[in-house]
Amino acid sequence: ILNVEQSPQSLHVQEGDSTNFTCSFPSSNFYALHWYRWETAKSPEALFVMTLNGDEKKKGRISATLNTKEGYSYLYIKGSQPEDSATYLCALNSGYSTLTFGKGTMLLVSP
């Protein structure tokens, strides 16, 4: 059973704060790492798919890094806005198409 861990479980920040979350995974089972944003009552939205050690990806104010040797990925949000409030999920693809998810980090950004 693959174990994908996310921390913190939840986070409450003020508008304008920068924040980051961690996803850790077994490095021996790595094929790709996915980040999703899931707003209440909506579909999970794909943010990034990361495959190479040292990968850095950016989408607007959100960026992610990947370290496959030590088994972790960071997601950064610069200058958080209330519309960034969501649950952020990471998921490991170990090469068998299916995804193994962490429990997510719930972010609340107050105006």
For residues 31 and 93, the answer to whether their CB atoms sit within 8 Å is yes
| 101 near other proteins, judged by CB under 8 A | yes
Shortest spacing between CB 17 and other proteins, in angstroms: 25
The pairing of beta strand 10-14 with beta strand 45-50 = unpaired
Closer Cβ to other proteins, 92 or 109, answer by number: 92
Run of H or E including 56 = strand 56-59
Residue of 11, 64, 73, 102 interacting with other proteins (CB under 8 A): 102
CA distance 105 to 20: 10
Query: Going residue by residue from 19 to 38, which x/- string records binding to other proteins, judged by CB under 8 A?
Result: -------------x-x-x--
Site for other proteins in 64-83 (CB under 8 A): none
Question: What is the three-class DSSP state of 79?
Answer: coil
